[in-house]
Structures are given as structure tokens and as C-alpha cells.
Structure 1
Amino acid sequence: MEESHHVLSLFEPMVLLAAAVLAVPLAKRAGLGPVLGYIAAGVAIGPFVLGLFGEPERVAGLAELGIVLLLFIIGLELNLGRLWALRRDIFGLGTAQMLGSGGVMALALRFAAGWAWPAAIVAGLGLALSSTALVLPLLEERGEVEAPHGRTAFAILLLQDLAIVPLLALVAFLSPLAVAQQGSAWAAAGTAVAALAAVVLAGRFLLNPLFGLLARSGAREIMTAAALLVVLGAAALMAWAGLSMAMGAFLAGVLLAESNYRHELEADIEPFRGLLLGLFFLSVGMGLDLGVIAARWPVLLAGVLALVLLKLGTTYAVARLFGHPPEVALRAALLLAQGGEFGFVLYGTAAVAGVLAPEQASLLTALVTLSMATTPLVIRFGPALLRRCGQDIPDEDYSEAHGSVLMIGFGRFGQLVTQVLQRQGVAVTLLDNDPRRIEEAARFGARVFYGDGTRLDVLRAAGAERARLILVCTDRPETTSRVLAIVREALPEIPCHARAFDRPHALALLKVGAASVMRETLESALAFGREALVGLGLSRDEAEEVEAEVRRLDRERFKAQRLHGAVTPQDLFTMRPEPLTPRRGTAAPAEGQAVAD
């Protein structure tokens, strides 16, 4: 009897896994994407079709952990330097997109559907949210996370994820029950501030020493357990304080973004994130009320069409206003045209608070789910629109990537380096995330593979583990640093040479472990100065002697800064350019001071 009870307790997990194993490959083969497969599997095993799960809410709590882990990994990727680099798109473009899309849809619900203002405002702002859980895997799968449209979409999604906290506060403010809860508002705010402070302080002073101690123990599974404990602990603390669990996980990720163990933590969490995200979309499918869809299908069909078109139009228009090129704005708008998973949280809370009627909340939940299901179809038709903008999306196959040198970045710098290597007959595998490079490479007799060099799986697929040498020639300094950090951690035995933006960046790259660096303007500037001296009347021999002397002084100072600790990590960001040769009547700069590149 006890054995049969154990078998029955295993039935539901087996059903979930079997549904995913069957539906997801079929959906991917049909070109619809795994998310639609998970949702379809959830519908099939849910209470309205096969009835294998009569109570979908039983798995909803566990499924929400998928969103929590997703936000943690987003936080890990978002160190303070990247956050600062994206500040305009996050806080400017992201806010404008939320208010623009939400305002248009709130007005439509108020005047076209006749909803009350509180319900229309909450519903409109909720529909303005897009699906982080859907869009980020799509970007990662296509290797477009660091592409211009990928960074734009990521910035908007990040603002939307952060906006769930004030949106939930807005629901409490608009609730008819808000008057009864007013007396505890200050206490709730104090609790929230205390919880945030606890997470920040723990992340700042405890997490790095903790992971360092565990790493020295040599037990990798303990590192995985500690990572899960940090995520769940931060999420639980935020939930106890009345904030979003996802917010706590995101904050923990940001605080660990500068950690030496960031990439290992990301690799440990990734399998759990994938499975729990799949469970989340299964629960969405199981909770989809087919009765509401059958009764209101004309309204839902019109609503999905209106939602996709309105979000496409507003996101494209706002991105263009912020100066993004047409193709970047269009590709970001195509990615963000659906509703988001946080809409389920918002509408459930609004129904409990009395801001939305239960029928309205059910209708909106079905609308968001159906819009998410349309995303693979919208993106499938996207290339036809993108070709009109002069840009296409290639599908990459790395089976022919056999070069002995892997070069990441094929811009103006990488193209010249390629000429030197190919002149000697060296086989080079070229990797870039700009589709236009593919056409440019044909003129060099080479092929550029399309992919994101900041992803370890893409690097491995492109043959990084077989390469004799890896060259990082990317344009953006933060991208170069990120690629180098990943290569040094995962493939420490392969020499890696990197292009540096300036002297501080070169020192930082050597500190991470670059075999050698080349400042992108050093050689051209020295040659330019030599030709200027020739133009002023010096003989070429005299000009070359002056060039050699300046090169020597620069090399000696750079060596001193690197080997003798003349520059600290903090100095790399505050280094003040100083001349190698002082002006007449001034003293020479001390060792460790910088020279302008």
C-alpha cells in the first residue's frame, strides 16, 4: 500500500516531464519555439482538456521560482559598468516605452471597452510589460544579446522588471480597500527599506567571502547549493517585506555581478532556471481558461491583434525618438510585442484588491498568454520586414569553423588583422554579431560566423577549444573585457590577445589574463606624428628616431605601471593623461601616471 502511494506521488512530476519532452521538440521542429510548446503542453494536461492536473495552482508556487532564477541571472550579467553604459536606454527609453504603450492601451480600454479608470490604468500598464522569460532565451539562442537591438530590448525589459514593484504599489493605492490599509503604510515602507538594506549589506560584505571559503573546499555541489540558498533567501526576504521575490533575486545577482565566481554561479544556476522556466510556462498553459476563450474568442482575437500592433507601433516610435536606427527599433519592437509574465502577478493582485473584476482579470490573463504564443510567429514574419530595412537575420551553422585562430569581432580593426594572418596562410574563424559583417567578409575571401562572442556555448561551437590562439577585436571596451574574462575562466590554456581601447583598458585586460594587448590608436598615432615631423622638414631618419624614443618611453612607463603596482585598480578609472615629454620648464610625470593614447 505504501509503495502504491509513492508511485502515485511520482505521477504528477512524470506527467509534467513527459508533456515537456513531447511538446517542446515538436514545437521547435515546427519553428514555433519552446515557449509555445510548454504552453501547449500545459493546456493539454490541464483541467480543460485531459484533466491530469485539476488544480494548476499546486505547481504555480514552484513555477514562480523560474522567474526568480531568471532575474538572478539577469542581475549577474548586469554589473555596474554595464548598467551605467545602458542608463539612457534603461531609464529613458524603458520608461518612455512603459508610459507610452501603457497610456495608449489604458485609453483604449477606457473609451473603447468602457472600463473604469482604475481598471483601465492597471490593465494598460500591465499590458505594456513584455516577457523577459520569453525574449531573453530567444536572444541567447540567436546570439543577439550584445547586438544593438538585443541591448535595446534588454534595457527596456530590465526597466519593466523593475517597474513591477511600483505597479503593485499603484494597485494598493487604487484599491477600494486602500483606506482600511492606510494605517500600516508607514510600517510596510519601513519593512521594505529594512529588507532592501539587509540584502545590500549581505551582498556587499558577506557573499564574496562566503563563496571564496566554499570554493577552497573543492566541493562544487556546495557552491551550487550556496547559490540557490542566496537566491531563495533574497527572494524570501523581499516577499516577507511585501516586495517582489524577483526583485530580491535580481538585487542578489547585481551584488554578485563583480564577483570572481560570477560565471561559475551562472553555470550552476542555468539548468535549474531552464527547468523551472519550463514549469512556469506549463503552469500558464494549465491555467488558461478555455471556457473564457471559447465564450469571448472574437474579443480576444481582436485584443491580441490590437495589443501586438499597438506595442509594435509605440515601441518603434519611442525607440526612433531616442535616436535608434530604423532596423534596431523595428527588431526591438518585434521582440517586445507580447504581454509579459509579470502581468499574471499584477492582474492576480489587482483582482484580490478589487481594482479588477474577476472576469476582467481572467480575460487579461488569457490575452497575455495568447499574445506570448504569437511571439514566435511575429518573429518568423519579422525578416520580411527587416529586409525592407536592409538587414536580415541569418541562421548560423558552425560545422565549418575549423580555423587555428578564432577572432571575435570583424570591424575595422579586425579586418586589418585578418589581412596579416591570411597573408601568411593562417586559417581564421571569424565571429561577429553584426549581419553586415558577413557580406563584408566575402570581399576578404573569408567567412564571418554570426554569433555572440560573450556566450561560452557560442565560443565552443565556433571552435574555441580547438584554436591555437584567440583574438578579441571587438569595438566596445566592456564587450572586450567580458569576452576575455569568459575565455580566461573557461579556456585558461589557450593564449588570448586583445584589442584595448586605451591605456587603462590595456592594464585592466592584462590584469584579467590577456597574453598581450594592443591599444587601438597607439601605432597609428605614432606613425601619424612621425609623418607630421617629416612634413615640418625633418629628415625621415630623424623623425623615426623621435618616434622610436617616444615608443621606448611609453613602453617603459607601461611596464612600470604593470609590474611595480604604480596603478591600482581604482586608478584605472581615474587616470589622468600626462605627457611623456614635459613642456619646457615643467617636471616629468612620475612613474604610474598615464599618457594620452
Structure 2
Amino acid sequence: MSVEAVAGGAEAVAHGVDLVPVVVLLAAGAFAVPLFKRLGLGSVLGYLAAGLLLGPSGIGLIDDPGSVLAAAELGVVMFLFIIGLEMEPSRLWALRRQIFGLGALQVAICGALLTGFGVLLGFAPAVAFVFGMGFVLTSTAIVMQILGERGELSSQGGQRIVSILLLEDLAIVPLLALIAILAPSGGDESLVSRLTGIAIALGAVGLLIVLGRRIMNPLFSLLASAKLREVMTAAALLVVLGSALLMQVSGLSMAMGAFLAGVLLSTSSFKHQLEADVEPFRGILLGLFFLAVGMSLDLQVVAGHWQIIALAVVGYMAVKALAIYGLARLLKSNHVEALERAAMMSQGGEFAFVLYTTASAAGLIDGPTNAIFTATVIISMVITPCLLIVLRYVTPKSQQSMDGVEIAENLNERILIIGFGRFGQMASQTLLGQGHRLSIIDNDTEMIRVAAQFGFKIYYGDGGRLDILHAAGAANSDLVLICIDDKATATRIAELFRDEFPLVKVMARAFDRVHAIELIKAGVEYQLRETFESAIRFGAQAIEILGATPDEIEAVVEGVRERDRRRFEMQITEDVSALDAANMLLLRNAAEQAREGGITAAPDQIAKTVSDAGIDTGKKGHD
């Protein structure tokens, strides 16, 4: 290759897209996050640490974190859109007291206390107000990510936190108006312009509601008729970004616009399609947001003002956490829930950056003060995942309340049921239907109390403990039903009966084929895989819908049962040659059924299909 060609290629690359930052950011997310999750530190901390390493305060591969942060805020926008899709208007209306009651109360109390603490640190009252109110606005991105990873977004505690976050997002509007009033140049003109801005914002919300109710569904119906996936994806992004833009130009947050759009589409028949289209963008951009926050931490500012920053971080987080905990306890939350909410929401958030930047532009705070405030918030965001990890280890396990619950002691019925969940409840019906008297034990006190409301007498006891089994009358029982959904515990209970009460007949619920074999070897009289019978009946109903006669259904079902029984017996004895013969029989049956159905698969293809389904000897955990 000539020198001129090489130079031309280099020049083309120079004028092309600079992929180095993109590759670096993707690599950071791909390696740091799995590592931190494996260490039990969570994905958020992994992103923040990787961002700090890559940013100007680290190795400096990314020298402009502000531009990355601006683009990455779209991740928060898309996250709020997906949350909105799960919040149908009726559900949101049901949360109105938590949003405007609990949320407003928390913002007001925390704002007052943090402002007072800022004054104690030596800031002027107006500056302390800006600092405190910015810190009140919790990081929606961090809290939502943590709740999502834990699967707690739909829990009662999660819903309360989401409600508070929504109110805090709304609070940014009056806070920006107050900054204009407090600014040195503030006057009647500023006040009038801000009131006008609030009116415009309310008008934008009304417009978005009208568009969502009248336009969006017909639009998606029209686009769906084109049957082009990329068009639907483009439309989904248009809705998210368009609603965010509408809110942004009207003075509200982009995240609030996306959330409202999601709520308006939550009852749409295209809800799940929209969620699937937006989700990949949301995940990548939200990770990029955390990376950008980590990159934005200026260690030079921290080093130059470490005393005030350290005092502010500790003081503001402590004051906010205590206020949140006290309010939660006052409103009847239990100790563990209140403590967790306080730890999770004790940090400042991304909307603080907006507030501080606006205050700096208005002349209310200077540049160095803005840098100190921003560093304080970022450090608090970094500390929060660490704080939750520590809390998880130091918080004692919540104790079940024994109110209204009797402990298993001196029970003497001839039939004992261990575990009264869904399986145990159904299994008890036939016994009760014939008039048998039962002793039932379970270790879930809440379930015991609920069962009592329906007339069931359940005793508290752990069936895996020998002393509890003696107290429950196991030695004098004629029959014991092990109905719990914990495989290891069920096997241990069966072994206890085999060793300590060998004359008692035991039946057990099995999780899968391997567990069933374990139970047989532990000496149970009868075991049943929990999904086997329902799956057989489900398949029988399927072929009935497809036109099979009752005789054909009975023959097919009996054939399935017989083949399963023979294979199960062979697996118990671990007769490999017999298993090989059974597998060959299954392959031949599969091939014959395929030919009868008009399927012309090659024998090796059928063999692979049967093997992949877990029919061969080496597979475990299949029914």
C-alpha cells in the first residue's frame, strides 16, 4: 500500500466519527458492572466507579463529562416513561394522597431542616435554601434502579418511594421560580415572567393529556398496520422524546413529560410493544448517566474544599435520613421499612444540578460555591449504594409477629400436613371433604392469620426440626403430607421421617424429576411433581380443542404417563443400558408421531430436539 493511500485513510478516519469514547464507555459498562454485581456491590456503584476512573479526575480518557451527562439524561427520561406505562391513571389516582400528602410533607420538612443546617455551616439564608432544596431532590435514577433490581417497584414500600419521587420532580418548577425571586436582580418583572412560565407549564401538561387521549392510540394503530417493526420503534422514541421536549421548553423536567406520556399510554393495547421498543435504549442510556455522574466528580474541588464538603455530605445525608425516618415512623411504617427508605433517599439527585446551575446563572451563588454544592451531591450519590449494602448486613432480620398465632404443641390428629401454601390448601380439600381431621403446621405467620379468617386452624412450626415434628404428633400420625415449596427442606423432612418415624406413611410434593428421585430415595410413600398433572391435563385440553376424540385423548395421555413412568423407574435404579433403550424408544415414538403429523425431520434432528428437551439420561431438572 502506498504512503499516499495510508495518509488518505488516516485523514478519512480523522474526519470520521471518533469511536474511542464510545468504545471506552461501552467497555467500562461491560466489565465494571458485572464485576461489582458479582462482588455484591450493585450495578449503580459499578457505573459510578467506572465513570470516576475514566473522567478528568481519573485517567482522563473522557475530558468532557458534561456533554456525556447531557445526552445520558435521556436514560432517566426513558426510565420514567417505562414506569409511567406501569401506572394506569386509576392506579395513579389511588396514590394521590401519597404523592401530594407524603411527598409534599417530606419535601417541606427536609427542605426546612436542610436549609437550617446550611445556615449553621455559615451560608447566607438564600444560599442555604438553594443548597438544601437541591439536596432534597432525591436521585430518581439511582432509587429507581435499585428498586428495579430488587423487584420492589410494585411493592407497597416501593410505591410510596415512587410517589415521593414524583412530587420531588414536580417541585423543581416552583423551586426555579423561587430562585428567580431570590436572585439579586429579581423584581416584579422576574416574578411576572415566572408566573407566566408556570401558566405555560400547566398549559403544556394539558396539551400533552389531550394528545395522549386523542392522538396517540389512533397514531399507533395506523403505524401498526404498516407491519414494520422499525417504524413502531421510531414512533415509540418519538413519543418519549417529543413529550420530554414539550415539558422541557415549557419549564418542566423532561422526565416528568416522559412519565406523563407513559401514564397516558398505560391503558393502550400497544403498551407492551412500546415497553419492548424503549427498554434497550433505556438500559444503555441510564448506565451512561451513572457513568457521567461518576466522571463529573471533580477531585480537585474536593481536595481544595474537603473540610466543608465532608461536613456537608455527612451532615446533609444524616439530617435528611433522620427526617425521612421520623416521618415514615410517624405515618405508621415499621422500623425496617423506614430505615431502608431513609438510607435509599438520603442523597441528593440529578435535579440538584439544574437548580444549582440556574442559581449560579442568576447570580445567587458563585462558581466555586456551585462546584462545592455539585461535588457534595455527587459524593452523596456515590455513597448511597454503599450505605444500602452496609444496612443490609447490619439490619437484623425482621421477626415475624406471633400475634394470634399458636405454636404447634401436643397435636394429636392422625393426619399431618406440613406447609399450607397453594399446594397444601388444595391437597387438604379432599381430606376435609371426607371428614378427616387434620393437624396443619406452617412457618409463615401472616399466612396463618389469613387462613384463620377462612376458618382454618394452622399452627406455627418449622417442619424441618425434629422437636417440632414431635410436638406436632408426627410419631402417632397415620399419614403425613409434605407440601412445602423448598426442595432441600422437603427432602430433609422426608429423611427425618425415614430415620425417626419409619412406620409413618409419607407423601411429598416434588419440584421436578430430580427432586422426585431424591424423595423416593428418602423413603416417601408417594411423590408428585407439582406441575406434572396440570401439564398433562393442559396438553389433553389442547388436543381436544384441535379435534381429538375422548378415546384418542385417553390413549395419548395414558401413553405419555406410561413412558414417563418407565423412564422414571429406570432413572431411580440408574440402569444406564435400560435408559439408553428407553431413549431409543422415545426417539422412535417421536419420529413416528412426526411422520404422522406430516413432519419430515431427519432422525438426527429429531434426536437433537429430544435431547435438548431433557429426555436423555444426562439432563436434570426437567419434568
- Equivalent residue in structure 1 for 2:271, among 254, 262, 271: 262
Q: 1:368 aligns to what SS in structure 2? A: helix
Q: Per-residue deviation at 1:267?
A: 2.2
Whole-Å Cα distance in 2 between the matches of residues 125 and 359 of structure 1? 18
Q: Per-residue deviation at 1:376?
A: 1.9
Whole-Å Cα distance in 2 between the matches of residues 101 and 208 of structure 1? 41
Q: Are residues 1:234 and 2:243 paired?
A: yes
Q: Per-residue deviation at 1:140?
A: 1.8
Q: Map 1:514-593 onto structure 2 (within 5 A).
A: none
Q: Per-residue deviation at 1:133?
A: 0.8
Q: 2:341 aligns to what SS in structure 1? A: helix
Rate the CA distance shift 1:259–1:221 in 2: closer, same or farther, 3 A: same
| Alignment check: 8 A CA contact 1:441 1:447 kept | no
Rate the CA distance shift 1:93–1:190 in 2: closer, same or farther, 3 A: closer
Q: 2:341: which partner in 1? A: 332
Q: TM-score scaled by structure 1?
A: 0.66
Whole-Å Cα distance in 2 between the matches of residues 381 and 57 of structure 1? 31
Q: 1:147: which partner in 2? A: 155
Q: Which amino acid aligns with 1:247?
A: M
Q: Are residues 1:215 and 2:253 paired?
A: no
Q: 1:341: which partner in 2? A: 350
Whole-Å Cα distance in 1 between the matches of residues 126 and 114 of structure 2? 13
Q: Map 1:48-447 onto structure 2 (within 5 A).
A: 48-110=57-119, 112-179=120-187, 181-182=190-191, 184-185=193-194, 187-387=196-396, 389-390=398-399, 415=421, 418-421=424-427, 445-447=483-485
| Alignment check: 8 A CA contact 1:99 1:125 kept | no
Which stretch shows the higher mean deviation, 190-199 or 206-215?
Answer: 190-199
Rate the CA distance shift 1:347–1:418 in 2: closer, same or farther, 3 A: farther
Whole-Å Cα distance in 2 between the matches of residues 87 and 196 of structure 1? 17
Q: 1:333 aligns to what SS in structure 2? A: helix
Q: Per-residue deviation at 1:147?
A: 2.6
Whole-Å Cα distance in 2 between the matches of residues 194 and 152 of structure 1? 28
Render the CA deviation track for 1:123-170: whole Å, top value 9, x for unaligned: 111112222211122122112223332222222222212222222222
Q: Which amino acid aligns with 2:426?
A: V
Rate the CA distance shift 1:121–1:210 in 2: closer, same or farther, 3 A: same
Rate the CA distance shift 1:240–1:468 in 2: closer, same or farther, 3 A: farther
Which stretch shows the higher mean deviation, 113-122 or 327-336?
Answer: 327-336
Q: 1:178 aligns to what SS in structure 2? A: coil
Render the CA deviation track for 1:49-73: whole Å, top value 9, x for unaligned: 2222222222232111112112212
Q: 1:516: which partner in 2? A: none
Whole-Å Cα distance in 2 between the matches of residues 152 and 350 of structure 1? 30
Aligned-pair identity (%):
45
| Alignment check: 8 A CA contact 2:423 2:483 kept | no
Q: 2:477: which partner in 1? A: none
Q: 2:41: which partner in 1? A: 32
Whole-Å Cα distance in 2 between the matches of residues 169 and 223 of structure 1? 38
| Alignment check: 8 A CA contact 1:441 1:448 kept | no
Rate the CA distance shift 1:132–1:421 in 2: closer, same or farther, 3 A: farther
Whole-Å Cα distance in 2 between the matches of residues 327 and 185 of structure 1? 42
Q: Per-residue deviation at 1:349?
A: 1.7
Unaligned 5+ segments in structure 2 are 1-7, 402-418, 432-443, 449-458, 464-481, 488-529, 535-541, 543-623
Q: 2:564: which partner in 1? A: none
Q: Per-residue deviation at 1:108?
A: 0.6
Aligned length: 427
Rate the CA distance shift 1:423–1:301 in 2: closer, same or farther, 3 A: farther
Unaligned 5+ segments in structure 1 are 393-411, 426-433, 450-465, 471-492, 494-597
Q: 1:575: which partner in 2? A: none
| Alignment check: 8 A CA contact 1:47 1:286 kept | yes
Larger Rg belongs to: 2
Rate the CA distance shift 1:305–1:280 in 2: closer, same or farther, 3 A: same
Whole-Å Cα distance in 2 between the matches of residues 195 and 448 of structure 1? 53
Render the CA deviation track for 1:431-467: whole Å, top value 9, x for unaligned: xxx9977998965741379xxxxxxxxxxxxxxxx96
Whole-Å Cα distance in 2 between the matches of residues 469 and 258 of structure 1? 36
| Alignment check: 8 A CA contact 2:297 2:379 kept | no
